[in-house]
A and B are shown apart, each in its own frame.
Chain A
Amino acid sequence: MIEIKGLHKEFGKLEVLHNVNLSFQQGECIALIGPNGCGKTTLIKSILGMVIPGRGTILVKGQDIRKGVEYRRHIGYMPQIGRYPDNMSIGQVIDMIKEIRHSKETLDEELLEAFQLKKIFDKRMRTLSGGTTQKVSATLAFLFDPDVLILDEPTAGLDPLASEILKEKIISEKQKGKLILITSHLLSELDDLITHLIFMQDGKVHFHQSIEDLRKLTGEEKISKAIAQILKKSNNE
């Protein structure tokens, strides 16, 4: 569904992505992990067209992302820190996006209900806490029932209840056969969600494996331990 070939990106002299080659299929739930500043967010933003790559191509559903913006119809994006116009209320932001998308598809308002956002529809974005802003971001990402979901640190800032709601939503979307791409620092949270794992370091893809392979390879049940073991191994080499 998403193909990334030979992706390079430099910010000035700093090389943030170095020859990234990845391929994601339908029904996968991929965790993108790595230390801070390893290029996770840049990779995601490249897929969304917010960052223009230096070299390389990205295909979403076979469509080159440089050749138009229609591919973004298939993507729901939840940013790490959602930033919205200060003076708009929650309801206005959601209405505006709906109107701009001009979408005729049925909307998925499950999260809107689950997070009980309708009660605070009149609140201005400026007055919201970080967690509530994240709830709005999550709602917008899932609203148009997209085939690809890109979630940048989705549970950061959410309270345990909300984060549980979101996780259940992610699992149910995965079962519908959607492609889900998550970045996260909290590995323990991802255990029951993900099918594949990508580890990035210094702008390079360290490894990209399915969870089963990873477990077989390392003999560990827990993902965090499996990763630790692999990293130790590569450090010794």
Chain B
Amino acid sequence: MNRIIKFIVLDILRNKIVLIYTLLLAVLSWAVFSLEDNSTKGLLTLLNVILLTVPLVSIIFSTIYLYNSSEFIELLLSQPIQRSRIWWSLFFGLSISLIFSFIIGAGIPILLYAPGDVGLMMLMVGISITAVFVSLAFLGSVLTRDKAKGIGMAILLWLFFALMFDGLVLFLLFQLADYPIEKMMVGITALNPIDLGRILILLHLDVSAMMGYTGAIFKDFFGTFLGIIIAFIVLFLWIALPFWVSLRKFKRKDL
């Protein structure tokens, strides 16, 4: 498997888009930290920027890369290589390269300016979110043969998780304001990996004091060690499940 991953990683790292992505993350992170006078404020700004850009780039780049690799996949398939091995290699290749970009671009400034729990948590969240959206890209691109449709689906998925989901939750909150839904809200956040990441970090910053009663319930859950573990398990499921479904589909696909 390693040899194929090596080829894929080398191919991606030569890609200009990944280079630009790394630079963009670096410029944003350094700028945010040098503009804000305290690192908490910096982290908060950076959190929002990262939670928008990382999923977007991860899912769109992976989707396009997968469609453009159809030739490569065909070439490998005529060799004595298992289909699952090809698919795993592509997944690892893409995840490793994008995570590498994230660590170089955003990870270094975060660890320099905000060393400690929160910085580390932010790094873990960024890495997980990258892998989640790479995994979603695999699911999307195996479901449809048409490149335009596939990219459209990727954009919609990103829009849904990054923007629309919060709107829906807010709507629910207002509609059901009279009921005790605070505990349910914890469950609902599990349905969106971006929100999960956001809450994990917010609760480790002092701003969580301003989040009201729901915030207190969240803190009760996500603030504990067990809560953090469960949150990361859910994030892991977000990586594993879409990829697992895509792998099953890919094994039966006609090329």
On whether the beta carbons of B74 and A101 are closer than 8 Å, the reply is no
On whether the beta carbons of B80 and A70 are closer than 8 Å, the reply is yes
A:21-71 near B, CB below 8 Å? 45, 48-52, 69-71
The stretch among A76-84, A156-164, A183-191, A201-209 that forms the contact with chain B is A76-84
In the complex the two chains form, what is the Cα distance from A73 to B79 in whole Å?
7
On whether the beta carbons of B254 and A50 are closer than 8 Å, the reply is yes
Interface size on B, residues (CB 8 A): 23
Question: Does residue A218 face the partner (Cβ distance < 8 Å to B)?
Answer: no
On whether the beta carbons of B72 and A50 are closer than 8 Å, the reply is no
On whether the beta carbons of B69 and A85 are closer than 8 Å, the reply is yes
Chain B contacts for A88, CB-based, 8 A: 11
Mark contacts of A83-105 with chain B using CB atoms, 8 A cut-off: 1 yes-contact digit, 0 otherwise: 11111100001001101111000
On whether the beta carbons of A69 and B81 are closer than 8 Å, the reply is yes
Question: Does residue B53 face the partner (Cβ distance < 8 Å to A)?
Answer: no
Known: A50-B254, A50-B255, A51-B255. A100 touches B69 (CB 8 A): no
Question: Does residue A169 face the partner (Cβ distance < 8 Å to B)?
Answer: no
B:61-79 near A, CB below 8 Å? 68-72, 74-79
On whether the beta carbons of B74 and A87 are closer than 8 Å, the reply is no
Question: Does residue B7 face the partner (Cβ distance < 8 Å to A)?
Answer: yes
On whether the beta carbons of B71 and A83 are closer than 8 Å, the reply is yes
Instruction: Choose from B4, B74, B79 the contact partner of A72 (Cβ within 8 Å).
Output: B79
On whether the beta carbons of A73 and B11 are closer than 8 Å, the reply is no
Instruction: Choose from A50, A51, A86, A102 the contact partner of B78 (Cβ within 8 Å).
Output: A50
On whether the beta carbons of B80 and A101 are closer than 8 Å, the reply is yes
In the complex the two chains form, what is the Cα distance from A86 to B11 in whole Å?
11
B:55-106 near A, CB below 8 Å? 68-72, 74-82
Residue of B nearest to A71 (CB): B80
Chain B contacts for A77, CB-based, 8 A: 78
In the complex the two chains form, what is the Cα distance from A71 to B80 in whole Å?
7
On whether the beta carbons of A50 and B74 are closer than 8 Å, the reply is yes
Chain B contacts for A99, CB-based, 8 A: 3
In the complex the two chains form, what is the Cα distance from A208 to B54 in whole Å?
58
Q: How far is the CB of A217 from chain B (nearest CB, A)?
A: 36
In the complex the two chains form, what is the Cα distance from A51 to B255 in whole Å?
6
Q: How far is the CB of B70 from chain A (nearest CB, A)?
A: 7
Q: How far is the CB of B173 from chain A (nearest CB, A)?
A: 45
Q: How far is the CB of B92 from chain A (nearest CB, A)?
A: 15
On whether the beta carbons of B74 and A100 are closer than 8 Å, the reply is no
Q: How far is the CB of A219 from chain B (nearest CB, A)?
A: 40
Q: How far is the CB of A76 from chain B (nearest CB, A)?
A: 9
On whether the beta carbons of A52 and B254 are closer than 8 Å, the reply is yes
Q: How far is the CB of B205 from chain A (nearest CB, A)?
A: 43
28 A–B contacts, CB within 8 A, in A order: A50-B74, A50-B78, A50-B254, A51-B255, A52-B252, A52-B253, A52-B254, A69-B81, A72-B78, A72-B79, A72-B80, A73-B80, A77-B78, A83-B74, A83-B75, A84-B71, A84-B75, A85-B69, A85-B72, A85-B75, A93-B75, A96-B7, A97-B75, A100-B76, A100-B79, A100-B81, A101-B80, A102-B3
- Please report B residues at the A interface, Cβ cutoff 8 Å: 3-4, 7, 11, 14, 68-72, 74-82, 252-255
